[in-house]
């Protein structure tokens, strides 16, 4: 990363950023053509301190077909805090954009274990529901695909740079 002063390395801080963002983007390889999809997700930190992301969607369709053929994906998410005008001591002005972003890659895999799939779908449902959801119906479990992505090579970046307390 060229701007090392803006780099975020701490996995816990990166996970906090991922948790604070409502959606992220998956970049997929569709037989040599790029394909991107915006998705919401559930995130956790595994025992190796890697961010683990779970996604859900239809079992059929373009995204599911691409993931079955080529599970290597790139994930990124960002928060755009907008432009900021900077006035230097000599009176000149410049504009920068304020943001925080994370990115990483990995091999996405379907979650086939029923208890894990149910746990993930229930956690996702509760994350987006105003009222508590206590269970996932078997029919929903059957018709919904869940994918797991362990992120590797994760980078984070922030402008302005995060202070150690952030």
pLDDT in the model for residue 157: 93
Which option is the CATH number for 4-159: 3.40.630.30, 1.10.8.640, 2.30.110.10, 2.60.120.10? Answer: 2.30.110.10
Q: What are the residue ranges spanned by the domains of the chain?
A: 4-159
| Angstrom distance (rounded) from CA 11 to CA 114 | 28
How many CB atoms are closer than 10 A to CB 65?
13
Residue with tokens 């805090």: 81
Which residue ranges of the chain lie beneath pLDDT 50? Answer: 165-166
| Angstrom distance (rounded) from CA 11 to CA 165 | 14
Is the bond into 160 cis (omega within 30 degrees of 0)?
Answer: yes
How confident is the model over 96-113, as pLDDT tens digits?
888 999 999 999 999 999
Residue with tokens 């948790």: 19
pLDDT in the model for residue 49: 81
């Amino acid at each position: 990363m060229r701007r090392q002063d803006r780099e975020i390395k701490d996995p816990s801080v990166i996970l906090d950023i991922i948790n604070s963002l409502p959606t992220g983007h998956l970049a997929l390889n569709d037989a040599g053509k790029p394909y991107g999809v915006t998705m919401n997700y559930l995130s956790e930190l595994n025992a190796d301190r890697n961010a683990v992301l779970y996604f859900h969607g239809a079992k059929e369709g373009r995204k599911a077909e691409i993931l079955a053929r080529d599970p290597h994906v790139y994930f990124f998410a960002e928060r755009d805090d907008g432009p900021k005008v900077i006035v230097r001591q000599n009176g000149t002005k410049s504009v920068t954009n304020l943001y925080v972003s994370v990115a990483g890659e990995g091999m996405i895999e379907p979650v086939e274990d029923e208890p894990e799939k149910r746990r993930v779908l229930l956690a996702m449902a509760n994350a987006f529901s105003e009222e508590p959801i206590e269970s996932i119906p078997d029919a929903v479990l059957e018709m919904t695909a869940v994918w797991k992505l362990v992120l590797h090579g994760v980078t984070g970046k922030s402008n302005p740079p995060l202070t150690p307390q952030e």
